[in-house]
Structure 1
């Protein structure tokens, strides 16, 4: 049977793009942190399912909550990088991006004591104009990236990109694998079955059928993702435009049950295992 990759983007609820229209960036740090509470819910859910996942963690969140990162690693989950400040790559210069990923990777490795192999850009913000970012990821020692969602979307998406893991950069013996977010091909379109807001909005059975179709008909693994804050219906709700409010808060109260059902019926593992990458080695100072 095909084993899929399960990933968790560990960030605060206010890192969501919808908060840009609700709370100025200079004031977001004043909002209460809820990441440890929501991560504990995720860990409990995964422990009950006997499942391990990849946790893409924001560097600044890791620095503020190092015991949480160690708790994730001690539970056998993979630690990966979700940038340092959760800024869109499309808003950064190459120099700023390089410093950001180096800082975040070093922070995470210092906390967990293992090499960090994977990276995911905030909001899938490595587009065709930011392809230079892959060179810096390879330089920094990452072995895989998961920043491409091959769908049509108003904020991100590369519908013409390959749908399954492929080599996106190589330098000698080093290579960088891209592991795109899951899609199912239907009537010439890529349908999103990889998690996030689509998973909260659509019937769970529809997503499950899509994943099963890819596993059985195409014999390929998929990458599924969600955020810990999606299991936290009690998070603050500042005023924001209705469409942003819908995107961020729709069906939060149903997310634990939906995930439980998905985990009961689908085989998942950390991304590095699905890709067959070398085990993380101990990092020594």
Structure 2
């Protein structure tokens, strides 16, 4: 990018909260891609193991990750089979840590027609990184994923949606490192993440620059902003309510849904990690046994494809 998102050098200063200038963002309005008169939505998977989630960060240190039973390969292979059964292609935002240990898994993802994208190396929150640390992280991850997949890796999703009002400099760094889009902002209030003042549809973080952010999806109902992008919300909400929200998004905003989930969410038999808070246990283990049948139903109820194809006309070339 030719202009920084903040008025200081991102290479030397740990950023502080900045006021949001609405003119900074350039929302993109474009007719959605359709098939059989139905909007094509974006299906995505955040490839990480059950012990790597933010809910466990205070219980499971990164230097202990190799002590835990790994289930990410078998679970991701199960996800690949579910997608094959439904004839759906998706985007797999993958940790470098996982790719380093399971290189053949990355090749299988790519060989089966899916997009390989970056989820950073080891699930560090971007809010915990300096710009130098962030740059090294996303550069290392992209290089490995490209080498293993044979694809050009252009997409990125921050761990726990940890790009927001305090670190908009991250978009500059992503663009400088060769990424073309991010899907890292959730425009809601949440105790772990959220930037509710951000646009609720695709936007360019700096007007006039080509890099694009695709925020997670929400709808307005009963005076509230309701998330409808998957994850724990998908396991919490009745399926009929979630399907209604996606249809509402299509009708009101004429916009594709961006759906995400994790391979561990289809694994109700995963080991239980001790020492979690009540909230942590609730968020992680709720309705795991219902996830796979709900996911299969969702794949049949709507059209789905990879992020880079659903939003291909938005992306810089």
TM-score class, shorter: over 0.9
Alpha-carbon distance between aligned partners in 1 of 2:75 and 2:133, rounded to the nearest angstrom? 30
2:267 corresponds to which of 232, 250, 273: 232
Alpha-carbon deviation of 1:170? 6.4
1:229-284 Cα distance to aligned partner (Å, 9 max, x none): 101111111211221111111111110001011111011110111111599x9xxx
* Residue of structure 2 equivalent to 1:36: 73
**Is 1:148 matched up with 2:185?**
yes
Alpha-carbon distance between aligned partners in 1 of 2:113 and 2:142, rounded to the nearest angstrom? 19
For the 8 Å contact 1:138–1:169, the answer to whether it is kept is: no
Q: Please, which runs of 5 or more residues in structure 1 have no aligned partner?
A: none
* Residue of structure 1 equivalent to 2:230: 195
* Residue of structure 2 equivalent to 1:113: 150
- State the aligned residue count: 279
Q: Please, which runs of 5 or more residues in structure 2 have no aligned partner?
A: 1-37
Alpha-carbon deviation of 1:214? 1.0
* Residue of structure 2 equivalent to 1:86: 123
Alpha-carbon distance between aligned partners in 2 of 1:215 and 1:25, rounded to the nearest angstrom? 40
* Residue of structure 2 equivalent to 1:100: 137
Alpha-carbon distance between aligned partners in 2 of 1:22 and 1:99, rounded to the nearest angstrom? 26
SS of the equivalent of 2:225 reads strand
* Residue of structure 2 equivalent to 1:221: 256
1:114-144 Cα distance to aligned partner (Å, 9 max, x none): 1011000000011211111000000011111
Alpha-carbon distance between aligned partners in 2 of 1:41 and 1:49, rounded to the nearest angstrom? 13
For the 8 Å contact 1:183–1:194, the answer to whether it is kept is: yes
SS of the equivalent of 2:211 reads strand
Q: After TM superposition, list the pairs within 5 Å mapping 1:153-172 onto structure 2.
A: 153-169=190-206
Alpha-carbon distance between aligned partners in 1 of 2:262 and 2:204, rounded to the nearest angstrom? 26
Alpha-carbon deviation of 1:25? 3.0
For the 8 Å contact 1:208–1:266, the answer to whether it is kept is: no
**Is 1:18 matched up with 2:55?**
yes
For the 8 Å contact 2:212–2:314, the answer to whether it is kept is: no
Cα 1:201/1:278, change in 2 over 3 Å: closer
Alpha-carbon distance between aligned partners in 1 of 2:162 and 2:296, rounded to the nearest angstrom? 29
2:295 corresponds to which of 254, 259, 262: 259
Alpha-carbon distance between aligned partners in 2 of 1:21 and 1:148, rounded to the nearest angstrom? 23
Q: TM-score, normalised by structure 1?
A: 0.94
* Residue of structure 1 equivalent to 2:245: 210
Alpha-carbon distance between aligned partners in 1 of 2:259 and 2:61, rounded to the nearest angstrom? 30
Q: TM-score, normalised by structure 2?
A: 0.84
Q: Once superposed, what is the RMSD of the aligned Cα atoms? A: 1.7
Alpha-carbon distance between aligned partners in 2 of 1:143 and 1:200, rounded to the nearest angstrom? 31
SS of the equivalent of 2:291 reads helix
For the 8 Å contact 1:46–1:52, the answer to whether it is kept is: yes
**Is 1:48 matched up with 2:85?**
yes
Alpha-carbon deviation of 1:22? 2.6
Cα 1:79/1:52, change in 2 over 3 Å: same
Range with bigger deviation, 187-196 or 102-111: 187-196
